[in-house]
Amino acid sequence: MTPLRLLNSAIIPALQELHYCGIPDTPDARRFLLAIALQESALSHRRQVITGAGETGPAASFWQFESGGGCKGVLTHFQIASCMRRLCAEFNVSATPQGLWEAMRYHDIIAAIAARLLVYTLPDKLPTTPEEGWVQYIEAWRPGKPHPHTWTDAWAVASTIVGGQ
């Protein structure tokens, strides 16, 4: 998957769907979602890679959501649960942590919706710098093994792609 293809085929359609929940589509949202996907999966894996075991890890989608983590969170958080559940129903996705997890491996729009909703739960405005982005990414995704050395490149690619739209 290329960054431009993910932006056009998943992120923009997801943000258009979220407009009906009162969550605006902005260049900052597009950039942040694309940067997170680049950071989490390099747009190469829809399932978490475990060294020596391939794509067998507990996280799914380009945004690497776990069933009991991010999936459960977006389905139960007081601020966004009703929106996530409504959109699951509209996309014929079971509104359970396991159902969402299974769907988002190949359903990039529903995965992007979940990613944006997770970001929406953060108290700060969307980041506009790589430094702000890193802080919010860590807060929302809580990666077990963060890789700060790759974030700047992910942010730069996302900025270039979104800026070229």
- Strand, coil or helix: 54: strand
pTM exceeding the 0.75 threshold for the entire prediction:
yes
Q: Give the pLDDT score at 51.
A: 81
Residue 47 near residue 60 (C-beta atoms within 8 A): yes
Question: Using CA atoms, how far apart are residues 93 and 132, in angstroms rounded to an integer?
Answer: 33
Q: Give the pLDDT score at 145.
A: 87
Residue 139 near residue 156 (C-beta atoms within 8 A): no
- In the DSSP assignment, the letter for residue 92 is T
Q: What is the mean pLDDT of the chain?
A: 96
Q: pLDDT category, 165, cuts 50, 70, 90? A: low
Write the pLDDT tens digit of every residue in 45-65: 999 988 888 787 899 999 999
Question: Using CA atoms, how far apart are residues 88 and 65, in angstroms rounded to an integer?
Answer: 15
Question: Using CA atoms, how far apart are residues 119 and 115, in angstroms rounded to an integer?
Answer: 6
Write the pLDDT tens digit of every residue in 87-113: 999 999 999 999 999 999 999 999 999
